[in-house]
């Protein structure tokens, strides 16, 4: 009984953290986007508009779920759950601070990769079942895109696995207590970091890789026909996926919740230790999120053939060579 | 027809416009063709053709085999005057529904015969359903679509991501401006010209004023001429900025669009201060200007020039060099010079294909004769050429303004005109170079205070025709980008 | 050769991407251009000549210059203006429907008495169409006499 209660509490805690983070991310995105575009961004609801995303959430909860004629209703309703479950499962595996981690497998990184690709099933289902031509094109693009970029994101994470010798996330973070992997792994780690940022960005369907949505041609791609909270699920998952990619990047490359330590400077290290781990983790993650936003609001969208040639002709060869290079570095 | 064929072989390879006419019960129906030579667009000639078959079955031979653009012009005349062009392969109505009764621009048209539905009615099959017979995946882009620059409706047949066929469908916001003009006095018509191509409203209005002044054989005072020219160039910059921004947005770079709007705002402020309107500037009137320039006008324009130059450099850094954008624009949507001329694609899109057609240089009007100006020409005809030529033209427009802003002559800003403007009897045709190409105004006057017939040549309509030509065999994403690169404005088509 | 091109293209691509990022970061740090509308009322300067509403100026004796000649009504392309008068040169009502006005300024340009003009007060939003039709002459106003 006790353990059962524990599970429920844990589940609720994760869901709450998930929702709250999504609201924060939506606000941050809109504000940062505004600043990049010489605008102020939301500033009406609450001071500096901080409650804007709360207001949006209330609105989305109150909205009608539109019934689509001739859609495949079972799949149509199911699709949004696939997307959000995939993203919540990944979210649960993230190490927020020492011990603050819901699932700590010994194949943690493998689990993250596996579960996060569940989302593509939802997207494909959404596009197929909504009986809309725009959605269909969006879903097909999304399928091609996610399957391709999974490879290079996996390969770049494997580079770090080679360096650390373990797949367990908590263990990987522990190992970085002296020096973060991006510094310790020499050039290959830096290249892997860049590759992971690009391919992770592409996996989350965000600009400049937002072809599945492509608002200028497909209106909004696979979720064109969704409304109300079902659209909300896609929306939440999109933002949380961005957070998850940033969090995995910071865990694997930037030391997760470990403070910045420089070997030899003991005083400095001691000062850094005073900052709690959760702050370090969120700080690094939001830094990666900011990078993602910066890129999104600068570049135009790629065309589907450019996207695929970027993956298969540029990113994947680089990742493969990089993996070899890392193996060489580790052996020496 | 034989005469037109001879003219075509004699080098008149640019069909500017076909103006449908109803000369009344005695003379009957017909059309006026306006032709020009592509290597010297100032050399125009007009040919009048009266339809055979009376008012019941008027018909004319089609010239769509001589000029590609005639295809769509003839559809327009067919739509409004009911003239059948034998030999035109696709003679559907262009703007009106297929079941519309009567031909609205005929003088004996009775508007009461058409039932205009005010409530939802049963869905009616669209015309030309047979066009897409056999195509499995036909997608509607528009009339409400984020990238349609207004209310254009493209029916696109797709094969996976590849576009196979495009059929534009006009008329969703047709306001019948040409019919309205027939009951308006000349000064009243001026408020409609701003609302055709709303992004180059000041230029279109200038053109209509020039047409009236040409008919009245008066001239605007030199001060008005120079100020009008500066306004035209500012309008062109504003329009090109928006064209650039919306093309970037069509390619997914929303930030560039906002930057373009930010810079355009400066021009809007200049307009607002002097003319009192932002988009509908309402500044030129027949015989001059509506009011004198504001004391701040020159200072503001002088401040704007270096600002715009700086921002242009930033725009280039942001987007022109971007490898994603370059990769998308490279080798896509080639419009050859011959095709551009045959389709009548004027303006930046035509000049990107290497056609020297800028009226500001070839047939200078207003103050363009007084300034040093060389039109920008590119020879590639690809999407990138159409993209970059807009930014280059902003630069040359700044150069024109720079030369004029310190030399605005003193004197009156408007010639006194009579209280009621009556144009002498006759046909008048005037072209101006607006931000999208040659904007033409045809006026037939019978000496009354209202015109007998007014026809506007819309450069945008031709651009959509070009899209139909260059979009097939490209990707869906390219279709949207090509639309952005041609930069059409729908209210100019749906007059 | 091909390999060299590949590397070269990769590097130049990255360089151009960095330029774009530099521009957006530059704008991130610049002051913002948004006009905050209801807050900047009173602070923001609206241009004098902006055509937003037709008015008929009255002097301190509640007198205007309109002779009810109806030229503005004749010139208006949209039937925005309706002038009623019971006797010559006596204006009863000068009705102006802002809902159908296109601000072409033909009425003010052609008015022989310069009795009407445009102001830049632009806040016209209402919940119904009714208040959009305005009577420009004030109640009890009269024509300005020549001696004044």
> A78 and A25 in one domain?
no
Query: What rounded mean pLDDT belongs to chain C?
Result: 83
H/E stretch holding A308: helix A304-309
Same domain, A266 and A169: yes
In chain B, whose CA is at the least distance from the CA of A34?
B255
Which class for C55: exposed (0-12), middle (13-18), buried (19 or more C-beta within 10 A)? Answer: middle
Which of C26, C47, C106 minimises the CB distance to B273?
C47
CA distance, residue B128 to nearest chain A CA (Å): 21
C27 vs B314: CA distance, rounded Å:
10
Q: How many domains does chain A have?
A: 2
Helices A186-203, A316-331: crossing angle, 10 deg rounding? 150
Chain A residues in contact with B259 (beta carbon < 8 A): 37-38
Query: Smallest Cβ distance to C77: which of B191, B255, B318?
Result: B191
Q: What is the mean pLDDT of each run of 10 residues along chain B (495 residues)?
A: 79 88 84 86 84 83 87 89 86 81 84 72 58 76 76 85 86 87 88 86 89 86 89 91 89 88 90 86 86 87 91 89 86 86 88 87 84 85 89 90 87 80 85 89 88 89 88 85 87 86
Task: Clarify whether residues A138 and A7 are in a common domain.
Answer: no
Are residues A207 and A193 both part of a single domain?
A: yes
Q: How large is the ipTM?
A: 0.84
Structure tokens that stand for A209 in this block? 């890789």
3-state secondary structure chain B: CHHHHHHHHCCCCEEEEEEEEECCCCCCEEEEEEEEECCEEEEEEEEEEECECCCCCCEEECCCCCCCCHHHHHHHHHHHHCCEEECCCCCCCCCCCCCCCCCCCCCCCCHHHCCCCCCCCCCCCCCCHHHHCCCCEEEEECCCCCCCCCCCEEEEEEECCEEEEEEEECCCCCCCHHHHHCCCCHHHHHHHHCCCCHHHHHHHHHHHHHHHHHHHCCCCCHHHHHHHHHHHHHHHHHHHHHHHHHHHHHCCCHHHHHHHHHHHHHHHHHHHHHHCCCCCCCCEECCEECCCCCCCHHHHHHHHHHHHHHHHHHHHHHHHCCHHHHHHHCCCCCCCHHHHHHCCCCHHHHHHCCCCCCHHHHCCCHHHHHCCCCCCCCCCCCHHHHHHHHHHHHHHHHHHHHHHHCCCCCCCCECCCCCCCCCCCEEEEEEEEECCEEEEEEEEECCCCCCCEEEEECHHHHHHHHHHHHCCCCEHHHHHHHHHHHCCCHHHHCC
* Tokens encoding B465: 């025709």
Chains A, C: CB pairs < 8 Å? 31
Domains of chain B plus CATH, in order, are: 2-107 (3.30.460.80), 177-493 (1.10.645.10)
Q: pLDDT category, A324, cuts 50, 70, 90?
A: confident
Q: At what angle do helices A108-116 and A73-92 cross, to 10 degrees?
A: 160
Q: Cβ contact (<8 Å) for B276 and C105?
A: yes
Inspect the interface and report whether the beta carbons of A297 and B319 lie closer than 8 Å.
Answer: no
- Average pLDDT of A131-150? 85
Residue with tokens 């016209």: C124
Instruction: Give the pLDDT score at B307.
Output: 92
pLDDT at B118: 67
B21 bridge partner residues: B30
Q: Looking at residues A232-244, what average pLDDT do you find?
A: 86
A276 Cα to chain B: minimum distance (Å) = 37
Q: What is the pTM assigned to this prediction?
A: 0.88
Distance from CA of C119 to the nearest CA of A (A): 29
Angle at B229 between CA B204 and CA B41, to 5 degrees: 65
Whether residue A220 sits in one domain with residue A125: yes
Contact list in A for residue B146 (CB cut-off 8 A) is: 215-216, 219
What is the Cα–Cα distance from A214 to B32, expressed in whole angstroms?
A: 45
User: Residue B338 has what pLDDT?
Assistant: 87
Amino acid B123: pLDDT:
52
Q: If you average pLDDT over residues A243-250, what whole number do you get? A: 88
Closest to A209 in 3D by CA, of A325, A300, A293, A324: A300
In this structure, the answer to whether residues A284 and A154 fall within a common structural domain is yes
Shared domain for A56 and A67, answered yes or no, is no
Query: Does C51 touch chain B if contact means CB atoms closer than 8 Å?
Result: yes
- β-pairing, B29-37 vs C117-119, is unpaired
How much of chain A, in percent, has pLDDT values that exceed 70? Answer: 99
Q: What is the pLDDT of residues A272-316, one digit of tens each?
A: 777 787 888 888 888 888 888 888 888 888 888 888 888 888 888
Specify whether A67 is located in the same domain as A82.
yes
Chain A residue whose CA is closest to B476: A217
Whether A7 and A88 map to the same domain: the answer is no
Judged by a CB distance cut-off of 8 A, whether residue C147 touches chain A is no
From B111, B166, B201, select the one nearest B479 (Cα to Cα): B166
In a shared domain, residues A154 and A57: no
Beta-bridge mates of residue B163: B158
Boundary of a domain, candidates A62, A89, A107: A62
Q: Which two tokens stand for residue B215?
A: 């008919």
Neighbour count for residue A134 (Cβ, 10 Å)? 23
Q: Are residues A53 and A106 in the same domain?
A: no
Whether residue B56 contacts residue B44, with contact meaning beta carbons closer than 8 Å, is answered with: no
Residue A57 belongs to what domain range? 1-62
Residue C44 has pLDDT above 80, yes or no: no
Question: What are all long-range contacts of A66-70, with beta carbons under 8 Å and residues at least 24 apart?
Answer: A66/A225, A66/A227, A66/A228, A68/A130, A68/A131, A68/A132, A68/A225, A69/A131, A70/A131
- Last residue of some domain: A12, A36, A62? A62
Q: Which of A18-27, A161-170, B122-131 has the lowest mean pLDDT?
A: B122-131
Looking at A62, A81, A104, the residue that finishes a domain is A62
- Are C32 and A40 inside 8 Å of each other by CB? yes
DSSP one-letter code for A309: H
Looking at the structure, tell me whether residues A45 and A185 fall in a common domain.
Answer: no
- B-C CB pairs within 8 A amount to 71
Question: Which pLDDT does position B240 carry in this prediction?
Answer: 92
Is B365 buried (19+), middle (13-18) or exposed (0-12) by CB count in 10 A? Answer: buried
Place of tokens 């209280």: B419
Question: What is the distance between the alpha carbons of residues B29 and B140, in angstroms, rounded to a whole number?
Answer: 36
Helix or strand holding residue C134 (H, E): strand C133-135
Confirm if B453 and B182 have CB atoms less than 8 A apart.
Answer: yes
CB pair distance less than 8 Å for B319 and C20: yes
Chain C residues lying within 8 Å of B276, measured CB to CB: 47, 49-51, 105, 118
């Amino acid at each position: 009984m006790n353990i059962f209660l524990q599970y429920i509490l844990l589940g609720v805690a994760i869901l709450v953290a998930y929702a709250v983070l999504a609201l924060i991310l939506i606000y941050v995105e809109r504000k940062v986007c505004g600043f990049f575009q010489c605008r102020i961004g939301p500033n009406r609801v609450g001071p500096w508009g901080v409650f804007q995303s709360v207001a949006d959430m209330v609105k989305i909860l109150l909205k009608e779920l539109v019934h689509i004629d001739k859609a495949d209703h079972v799949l149509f309703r199911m699709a949004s759950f696939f997307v959000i479950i995939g993203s919540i499962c990944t979210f649960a595996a993230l190490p927020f601070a020492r011990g603050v981690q819901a699932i700590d497998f010994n194949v943690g990184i493998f689990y993250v990769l596996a579960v996060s690709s569940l989302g593509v099933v939802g997207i494909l289902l959404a596009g197929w079942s909504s009986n809309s031509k725009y959605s269909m094109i969006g879903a097909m693009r999304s399928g091609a895109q996610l399957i391709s970029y999974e490879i290079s994101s996996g390969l770049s994470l494997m580079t770090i696995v080679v360096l650390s010798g373990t797949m367990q996330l908590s263990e990987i973070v522990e190992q970085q207590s002296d020096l973060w992997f991006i510094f310790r792994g020499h050039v290959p780690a830096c290249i892997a970091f860049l590759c992971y940022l690009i391919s992770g960005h592409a996996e989350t369907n965000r600009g400049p890789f937002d072809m599945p949505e492509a608002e200028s041609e497909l209106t909004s791609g696979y979720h064109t026909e969704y409304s109300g909270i079902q659209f909300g699920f896609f929306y939440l998952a999109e933002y949380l996926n961005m957070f998850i990619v940033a969090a995995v990047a910071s865990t694997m490359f930037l030391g997760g919740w470990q403070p910045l330590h420089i070997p030899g400077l003991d005083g400095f290290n001691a000062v850094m230790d005073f900052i709690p781990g959760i702050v370090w983790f969120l700080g690094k993650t939001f830094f990666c999120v900011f990078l993602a936003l910066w890129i999104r609001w600068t570049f135009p969208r790629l065309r589907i053939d450019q996207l695929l040639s970027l993956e298969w002709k540029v990113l994947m060869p680089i990742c493969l060579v990089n993996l070899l290079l890392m193996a060489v570095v580790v052996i020496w | 027809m034989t005469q037109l064929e001879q003219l075509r072989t004699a080098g008149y390879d640019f069909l500017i416009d076909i103006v449908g006419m109803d000369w009344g019960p005695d003379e009957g129906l017909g059309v006026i063709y306006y032709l020009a030579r592509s290597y010297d667009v100032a050399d125009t000639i007009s040919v009048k053709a009266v339809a055979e078959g009376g008012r019941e079955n008027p018909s004319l031979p089609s010239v769509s085999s001589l000029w590609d653009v005639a295809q769509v012009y003839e559809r327009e005349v067919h739509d409004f005057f009911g003239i059948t062009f034998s030999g035109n392969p696709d003679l559907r109505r262009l703007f009106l529904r297929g079941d519309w009764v009567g031909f609205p621009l005929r003088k004996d048209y009775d508007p009461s015969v058409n039932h205009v539905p005010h409530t939802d009615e049963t869905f009616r099959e669209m015309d030309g359903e047979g066009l897409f017979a056999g195509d499995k995946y036909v997608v509607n882009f528009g009339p409400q679509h984020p990238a349609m620059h207004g209310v254009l409706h493209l029916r696109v047949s797709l094969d996976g991501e590849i576009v196979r066929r495009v059929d534009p469908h006009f008329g969703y916001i047709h306001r019948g401006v040409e019919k309205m003009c027939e009951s308006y006095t000349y000064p009243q018509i001026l408020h409609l010209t701003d609302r055709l191509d709303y992004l180059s409203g000041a230029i279109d209005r200038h053109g209509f004023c020039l047409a009236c002044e040409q008919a009245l054989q008066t001239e605007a005072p030199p001060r008005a001429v120079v100020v009008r020219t500066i306004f035209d160039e500012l309008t062109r910059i504003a329009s090109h900025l928006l064209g650039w921004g919306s093309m970037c947005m069509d390619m997914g770079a929303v930030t560039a669009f906002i930057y373009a709007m930010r810079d355009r705002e400066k021009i809007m402020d200049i307009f607002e201060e002097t003319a009192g309107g932002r988009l509908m500037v309402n500044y030129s009137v027949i015989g001059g200007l509506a009011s004198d320039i504001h004391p701040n006008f020159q200072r503001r324009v002088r401040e704007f020039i270096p600002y715009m130059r700086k921002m242009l450099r930033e725009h280039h850094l942001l987007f022109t060099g971007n490898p994603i954008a370059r990769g998308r624009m490279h080798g896509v949507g080639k419009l050859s010079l011959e095709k551009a001329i045959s389709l009548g694609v004027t303006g930046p899109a035509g000049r990107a294909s290497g056609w020297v057609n800028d009226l500001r240089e070839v047939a200078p009007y207003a103050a363009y004769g007084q300034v040093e100006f060389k039109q920008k020409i590119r020879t590639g005809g690809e999407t990138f050429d159409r993209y970059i030529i807009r930014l280059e033209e902003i630069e040359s427009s700044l150069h024109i303004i720079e030369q004029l802003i310190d030399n605005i002559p003193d004197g009156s800003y408007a010639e006194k005109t009579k209280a009621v403007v009556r144009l002498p009897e006759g046909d008048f045709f005037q072209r101006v170079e607006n931000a999208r190409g040659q904007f033409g105004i045809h006026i037939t006057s019978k000496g009354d205070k209202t015109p007998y017939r007014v026809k506007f040549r819309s450069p945008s309509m031709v651009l959509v025709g070009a899209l139909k030509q260059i979009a097939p065999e490209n990707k869906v994403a390219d279709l949207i980008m090509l639309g952005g690169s041609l930069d059409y404005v729908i209210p100019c088509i749906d007059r | 050769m091909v390999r060299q091109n590949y590397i070269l293209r990769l590097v130049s691509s990255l360089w151009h991407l960095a330029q774009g990022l530099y521009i957006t970061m530059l704008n991130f740090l610049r002051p913002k251009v948004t006009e905050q509308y209801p807050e900047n009322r009173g602070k923001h300067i609206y241009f004098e000549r902006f055509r937003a509403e037709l008015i008929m100026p009255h002097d301190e004796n509640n007198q205007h210059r309109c002779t009810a000649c109806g030229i503005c009504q004749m010139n208006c392309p949209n039937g925005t203006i309706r002038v009623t008068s019971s006797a010559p040169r006596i204006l009863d009502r000068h009705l102006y429907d802002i809902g159908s006005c296109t601000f072409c300024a033909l009425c003010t340009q052609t008015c022989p008495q310069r009795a009407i003009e445009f102001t830049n007060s632009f806040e016209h939003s209402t919940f119904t169409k009714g208040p959009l039709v305005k009577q420009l002459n004030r109640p009890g106003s009269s024509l300005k006499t020549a001696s004044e």
